[in-house]
């Protein structure tokens, strides 16, 4: 028996923390997990899950419109925001229950409290003031939306947190940001009938994505009626005398809207956590510094997920948790693998992507081949919708390996998952070429682009 109360104490009941606590508990370890809000964390309560449910809700108007081309006559549709929010709440409560049950079944002690470090082995439960000790500590406290406190009027704005539970659906919204959360919410609100404007300081939305995806999505969003303002930022938000808000921008625009949403990145949840007292180092952004095994500057304290600001995605936090358990409790040192992470933007149309963008591949390889197809998906032929799909494979000319795959169009996220396997397996373009197509699908285009659209050598298109 050790002198500690627990073998492992986990701070934060989100994607990473719950997985680590559950696995350690099922190995017979004495584990406690503290959560200050709701089990399931950002992903389940106010991230991936409710967002995807809202994406589905926002797609129905287009489905209704498209139906006419297939002979259907759909009666007048109406939308009830409160009903959607209530249905979403029921679903996330169900999932939260599953998370709790998983922890209980693994014998993990659930503590509904904020937890802070007192020293390198002692944790204080804020709710009761009680202190407990643990041999190992795992910090998985995630991140929070940047409130942009320097913006005059920021307190009048919402973030993604509030967007999920607005008492009323606004008639108009201005969303600040160019990352995937800003873009997804712009599409959600627009689909639900909200007059939507996106404002972003950069030259194009979604900065780290392939340029064809960025430009293609931008065009599709504008064609739907979403207004996109680039190279400009909000400078001040004020209440309008007649109700609603007025946002003034650096370039002199004055935008009158019902709501302003800030989606300007996420900050690691490390404030007031007692990291200094425990000797845990953070970087200039406040993220916990970890080594390849998610170990902090204190050998028995680990950190993973968004609080470490490596790759802020749910599957990454879960993978890091599984590697942590392998390393610390199964005597099998395992580094998380952050290479070739397939991911999606649930915009409308969607983006699915894995590997290098054309721009990044050009920087890495002396010569690349680009296979690119742009076409109207079959469903759009009868519906009459003008939306185009773009598919793109980036190939290293020397090794023939496919080093990037990018799709803009319906179900792109689903396709990205499978492309992730092929890239991870190191498939070459020849492997794609000898793969039989599934017909008729949109995805068949991925295995029938036999000739490169163009090559890029030393940064020059040839």
Ligand X SMILES: Cc1cc2nc3c(=O)[nH]c(=O)nc-3n(C[C@H](O)[C@H](O)[C@H](O)COP(=O)(O)OP(=O)(O)OC[C@H]3O[C@@H](n4cnc5c(N)ncnc54)[C@H](O)[C@@H]3O)c2cc1C
Minimum CB separation from ligand X for residue 364, in Å? 25
The residue (of 307 and 362) whose beta carbon lies closer to ligand X is: 307
In a 3-state reduction of DSSP, which class is residue 85? helix
Asked whether position 416 contacts ligand X by CB under 6 A, the answer is no
- DSSP label at residue 177: -
Establish if 11 lies at the interface with ligand X (CB under 6 A). yes
- Whole-angstrom Cα distance, residue 420 to residue 170? 38
- Out of 269, 294, 327, 357, name the contact with ligand X by CB under 6 A: 269
Options 69, 265, 315, 452; binder of ligand X; rule CB under 6 A: 315
CB 211 within 8 A of CB 204: yes
Please state, in angstroms and rounded to a whole number, the distance separating the CA atoms of residues 436 and 448: 9
- Min. distance of Cβ 376 from ligand X in angstroms? 27
Q: How far is the CB of 36 from ligand X (least distance, A)?
A: 4
In whole angstroms, what is the distance from residue 270 CA to residue 140 CA? Answer: 10
CB of 348 to ligand X, least distance (A): 14
Determine, following the binding rule CB under 6 A, whether residue 141 of this chain makes contact with ligand X.
Answer: yes
Per the annotation, does 183 bind a ligand?
A: yes
Sites for ligand X among residues 115-134 (CB under 6 A) = 115-116
**Is 184 assigned to a binding site?**
yes
Name the E strands within 300-340: 301-303
Report H helices in 340-428: 358-364, 378-383, 412-424
User: Any bridge partners for residue 229, and if so which?
Assistant: 199
Binding mask 352-391 for ligand X (x = CB under 6 A): ----------------------------------------
Taking the C-alpha atoms of residue 153 and residue 137, their distance in angstroms, rounded to an integer, is 39
Binding mask 216-255 for ligand X (x = CB under 6 A): ----------------------------------------
- Active site positions, annotated: 439
Omega of the bond prior to 396 within 30 degrees of 0, cis?
no
Q: Are 198 and 164 in contact (CB under 8 A)?
A: no
**Among positions 313, 362, 389, 402, the unique one binding ligand X when judged by CB under 6 A:** 313
Strand partners, 247: 237, 255
- Classify the C-alpha dihedral 132-12-308-136 as positive or negative: positive
Instruction: Find out whether 178 is annotated in a ligand binding site.
Output: yes
* 396 annotated ligand-binding residue: no
Hey, which residues between 159 and 178 contact ligand X (CB under 6 A)? 160
d(CA 149, CA 155): 8
CB burial readout 7-25, b (16+ within 10 A) else e: bbbbbbbbbbbbbbbbbbb
**Is 318 assigned to a binding site?**
no
Positions at the binding site: 52, 177-184, 265, 306
Positions at the binding site for FAD: 52, 306
- List of residues contacting ligand X (CB under 6 A): 11-17, 34-37, 41-43, 47-48, 51, 114-116, 140-142, 160, 181, 269, 273, 305-307, 312-315, 317
């Amino acid at each position: 028996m050790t002198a500690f109360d627990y073998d492992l104490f986990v701070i934060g009941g989100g994607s990473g923390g719950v997985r680590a606590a559950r696995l350690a508990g099922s190995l017979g370890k004495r584990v406690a997990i503290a959560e200050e809000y709701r089990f399931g964390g950002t992903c389940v309560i106010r991230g991936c899950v409710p967002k995807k449910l809202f994406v589905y809700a926002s797609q129905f108007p287009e489905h209704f419109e498209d139906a006419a081309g297939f002979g259907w006559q759909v009666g007048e549709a109406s939308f009830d925001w409160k009903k959607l929010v209530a249905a979403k709440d029921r679903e996330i409560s169900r999932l939260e229950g599953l998370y709790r049950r998983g922890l209980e079944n693994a014998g993990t002690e659930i503590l509904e409290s904020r937890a802070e470090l007192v020293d390198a082995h002692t944790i204080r439960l804020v709710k009761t003031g009680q202190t407990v000790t643990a041999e190992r500590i795992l910090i998985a406290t995630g991140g929070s939306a940047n409130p942009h406190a320097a913006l005059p009027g920021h307190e009048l704005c919402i973030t993604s947190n509030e967007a999920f539970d607005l008492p009323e659906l606004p008639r108009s919204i201005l969303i600040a940001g160019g990352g995937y959360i800003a873009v997804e919410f712009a599409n959600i609100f627009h689909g639900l009938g909200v007059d939507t404007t996106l404002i972003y300081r950069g030259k194009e939305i979604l900065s780290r994505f392939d340029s064809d995806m960025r430009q293609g999505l931008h065009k599709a969003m504008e064609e739907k009626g979403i207004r996109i303002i680039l190279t400009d930022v909000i400078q001040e938000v004020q209440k309008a005398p007649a109700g609603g808000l007025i946002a003034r921008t650096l370039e002199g625009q004055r935008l009158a809207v019902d709501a302003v949403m800030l989606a300007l990145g996420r900050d690691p949840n490390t404030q007031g956590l007692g990291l200094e007292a425990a000797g845990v180092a953070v970087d200039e952004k406040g993220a916990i510094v970890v080594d390849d095994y998610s170990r902090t500057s204190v050998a028995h304290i680990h950190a993973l997920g968004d609080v470490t600001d490596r790759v802020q995605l749910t599957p990454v936090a879960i993978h890091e948790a599984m590697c942590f358990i392998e390393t610390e409790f199964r005597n099998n040192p395992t580094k998380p693998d952050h290479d070739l992470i397939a991911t999606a933007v649930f915009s409308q149309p969607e983006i699915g992507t894995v590997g290098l963008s054309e721009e990044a591949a050009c920087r890495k390889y002396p010569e690349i081949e680009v296979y690119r197809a742009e076409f109207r998906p079959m469903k759009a032929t009868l519906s009459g919708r003008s939306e185009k799909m773009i598919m793109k494979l980036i190939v290293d000319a020397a090794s023939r390996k496919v080093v990037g795959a990018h799709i803009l169009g319906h179900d792109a996220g689903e396709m990205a998952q499978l492309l992730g396997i092929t890239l991870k397996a190191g498939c070459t373009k020849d492997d794609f070429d000898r793969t039989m197509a599934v017909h008729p699908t949109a995805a068949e285009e991925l295995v029938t682009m036999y000739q490169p659209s163009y090559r890029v050598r030393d940064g020059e298109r040839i």
